[in-house]
Homo-oligomer: A and B are copies of this chain.
Amino acid sequence: MNCFKKLVLGFLCLFFSLTLVAQVHPGLMMTKENIPAIRKGVLTYPILKNSYEVVKKDADLALSQPIVVPTPADAGGGYTHEQHKKNYTHILNCGIAWQISGDKKYATYISNILLKYAEAYEKWPLHPKRKDGHQGGRIFWQSLNDFVWQVYTIQGYDLAYDAITAQDRAMIEKHLFKPMMTFFTVDCKETFDKIHNHGTWDIAAVGMTGYVLNIPEYVQMAIKGSNKDGKTGYLAQVDQLFSPDGYYTEGPYYQRYALLPFVIFAKAINNYQPELKIFEYRSQLLAKAINTSLQLTYTNGFFFPINDAIKDKTYESAELVYGVDISYADIKAQPELLDIAEKQGQVVVSDAGLKVATALHENKTKPFVYQSQWIGDGAGGLDGGLGILRYGKNSDQQCLLLKAASQGMGHGHFDRLNILYYDNNVEVFPDYGSARFMNIESKKGGDYLPENKSWAKQTIAHNTLVVDQTSNFKGDWQEAQKHPAVKLYFNKEATRQVASAMEAQAYPGVTMKRTSALVKVPSLAKPLLLDVFQALSSKPHQYDLPFWYNGHLIDASFKINAYTNNLKTLGSKNGYEHIWVNADQTLPASGGYITVLNNKRFYTTHFVTDSPIQVKLLSLGANDPDMNLVESKAFLLSQKQAENQVFFTITEAHGGTNPVTETTVGSASVVTELKIRSADDKSVAVSFKVKGKVYDYRINYQDKDNYIQLTNADITK
């Protein structure tokens, strides 16, 4: 961190030596000198044209309705809340429509609505519906929404600036923006100085307002914190909220959300003070964060839904449109980003959007390349991380994610050493994400449901080991926050990709190590997922390793014998109470297999352990009086009593069905004879057979240079 600190201080000195450049409007996402080019681009480039049409449609909608600035009264989702949200969108879109069309009616709208806000704002007290423990806003129930309101509104104001009379501007600035800045920096000082995404929004709003109103004080506070000492503020946030790999600790879903104020304010800084080279800061950290956000999606564009995540979120979301456009236009014109922009199907109508649209038109696109990589967590990148293995082209890619990061604060899940596995454009071993129906009023107003805590966060809801039917760290996230998981090994060599990590704090007295690998053996077209989960303890424990799967179970090595009536739950707490036990079989130590048909492809998971285990087939939905839980199914490998235990599984993706031609190929797995040869705290040795050839697979925990050994007659010769 010392190195960083020096850099920050150097940066601050540079900053003090400067005054703001002369005011020209607009100067944020769209700048005056670029307007003619953007206008032309809107006529020329289809993606820019379509994007502008969406903007203009909303601007025209705004003009078709009476201006309504209601006294704040309702909580999230309520009438006044939604109206004020609509208003800021209208203001921004009218600003863009004014600059592109030159039709003054759009600017007049902005002037009129902001005058209404200016008339009222100072009379509004703290929001009546503010929540305990959350900083209330004046327009919205939480101050966060007020910050967001201003990030959009100040852009609209900047766009319309030259068309608003000096008198009206004075009114708006004096009675709306300045008192608002006081509220944001004084009343909300704690948030302003907090290293947290709410703080980022506050800072961005204040800093952007500072630039547009030409008030260096606001800008300085935004960049260096309210004490202007660099301990808080924008640069401190960039330093502390992201890892050196550009990972935001709460996970991809929140990374996407947190990214917008970072990127949009950086663009403002760069426009007004290009000499600060903000995009170069911390080795182009922002570009890295944008790129990492994209790398945190599967090839279908969906973010990996670890921690509290809404599962159907993709890189098409607005935050990533801003991110991709700015990254391409202002940081580094990587042609791979154009591939994403094309899939997003829109650009920001802005300087950056114009560059992207132009490049797309010039066919500069290259396919986006998904990388196998370890993404470190924590400000220093050393708090564990995510191991991501990928094999195959984007149209049909195998992808494995090993989650061995820090807790990720309050939205983190208790899922140390969890794996997510994808193939053929779908989830094979999915993560549940959060228990929440975003914006569905009938489901607790769209907020997190009680089952988010009782189910989604619990360890058993994930594809990882549960010890003694309790969750990691007994479900205490503050405790968990102190102890990140530990990266042991990562290798991205194409045919032997490996991620290995350890977690020794989640369960007192139990050390857990997981080594997951995509290994391609010569006789198979696709890699096998080899997964070795080892638990070591000096005392006996119950070890439960679930594999939540998608698709339909179509074969097993054992008679399934499902319960036919009186379905019971798996347990009574820590998420077990939400699980129905559909079937329950005791298997010998020699193991068995389960085959699932998912999106017309077969997946056979073979498993073997050191001792006889039970295999349970599970489904979700018990103790769910409001039916809040979404259908989910798992097979659970369960060991009632053991000190040390190894679960060795191989999942083979094979064959497929074509229902239209009514043909099936490769429905039988060719992997056989999984064996555990030896296992202790230094190494694990296992073996398996593929098409008659025996493979020995050895993990040497203490030998980084020779961590994985895979041998068979063919490979070694």
Contact = CB atoms under 8 A, between A and B. Distances in A.
Interface in A534-573: 552-555, 560-562, 564-569
A554 B659 contact: no
A552 B630 CA distance: 7
Interface in A168-225: none
Contacts of A44: none
A582 B441 contact: no
A560 B662 contact: no
Contact of A664 (B313, B440, B565, B566): B440
A21 interface: no
Nearest to A626: B560
Given A318-B661, A631-B631, A661-B317, A625 B440 contact: no
Given A310-B659, A582-B621, A439 B664 contact: yes
Contact of A561 (B443, B625, B661, B664): B625
Nearest to A315: B660
Contacts of A569: 564-565
Interface in A437-467: 437-443, 446
A625 B560 contact: yes
Given A554-B440, A554-B442, A582-B627, A659 B312 contact: yes
Contact of A439 (B443, B555, B582, B657): B657
Interface string A631-643: 1000000000000
Nearest to A580: B567
Contacts of A438: 657, 659, 662, 664
A622 B564 contact: yes
Interface string A426-445: 00000000000111111100
A664 B569 CA distance: 35
Contacts of A441: 664, 667-668
A314 interface: yes
Interface in A586-632: 595, 597, 617, 619, 621-627, 630-631
A622 to B, nearest CB: 6
A442 B314 CA distance: 37
Contacts of A627: 553, 560, 562, 582-583, 617
B626 A562 contact: yes
Contacts of A584: none
Interface string A660-675: 1111100110000000
Interface string A478-493: 0000000000000000
A215 to B, nearest CB: 33
A316 interface: yes
B568 A565 contact: yes
B564 A623 contact: yes
A193 to B, nearest CB: 28
B317 A442 contact: no
Contacts of A582: 621, 627
A564 B624 contact: yes
Contacts of A310: 659, 662
A190 B93 CA distance: 76
A138 to B, nearest CB: 23
Nearest to A85: B663
A146 to B, nearest CB: 18
Contacts of A446: 664
Contacts of A437: 552, 554, 597
The listed residue with most B CB atoms (<10 A of its CB), out of A595, A659, A664, is A659
B595 A442 contact: yes
22 contacts: A316-B660, A317-B660, A437-B597, A438-B662, A439-B662, A439-B664, A440-B597, A440-B657, A441-B664, A442-B667, A443-B555, A560-B626, A561-B625, A562-B621, A562-B624, A564-B623, A564-B625, A565-B569, A566-B568, A567-B622, A582-B621, A617-B627
